[in-house]
Amino acid sequence: MKRSLLGRVVATGALVVAGVVGVDVVSDDRSPGSTTGSESRTVVVSRVVDGDTVEIASGAHVRIIGIDTPERGSCGYDEATAALRRMVEGRQVELVDPGSVQDRDAYDRLLRYVDVAGEDAGFAQVRAGRATARYDSRDGYDPHPREDRYRAADERHEGPCGA
């Protein structure tokens, strides 16, 4: 049960990610391995955790599909995190669920593309050399629709700090 945007308590049976200027509700009754459905929802990013993970206003964490940025303390971490912060923090974004990947990762983060003002934030990170294209069908994970584009952009860069 989740509280709706109007304050009513509602039962949910499918993924619901709704957002209006700073308010969003996230509920997920799909099984952890589910890959059904393809949805896009507008939410507000309250905080950037690092270069490939954000927190939305509901408190849920969202891991951007198909990219990997340096971890805290590694070369390139500050640049990747700052760039994502400039792109999305405090802004309305579209969380895109392609339906072809698991709904959540091992850390219970939602797995989604994050699009802001018509731009794919994950692709922007790869294109700028702040992220590598990973966690796709070539790495033994579920395929995702943007992986060819990400891989092509990744081949044009050495990756963060020449890695």
pLDDT at 162: 63
**Residue-level length of the chain:** 163
Q: What is the pLDDT along the chain (163 residues), one digit of tens a residue?
A: 333 333 332 333 333 333 333 334 343 333 333 334 468 999 999 999 999 999 999 999 999 999 999 999 999 999 999 999 999 999 999 999 999 999 999 999 999 999 999 999 999 999 999 999 999 999 999 899 999 999 999 998 765 676 5
pLDDT at 160: 62
- Give the angle subtended at the CA of 119 by the CAs of 110 and 28, to the nearest 5°: 20
Domains of the chain: 2-162 (2.40.50.90)
48 in Cβ contact with 54 (< 8 Å): yes
Nearest CA among 19, 27, 21, 86 for reference residue 60: 27
pLDDT at 77: 97
pLDDT at 39: 84
- pTM value > 0.85: no
Q: Quote the CA–CA distance of 147 and 82 in Å, as a whole number.
A: 24
pLDDT at 159: 59
Name the average pLDDT for the chain: 80
State both tokens at 133.
């294209």
pLDDT at 20: 35
pLDDT at 65: 97
pLDDT at 157: 75
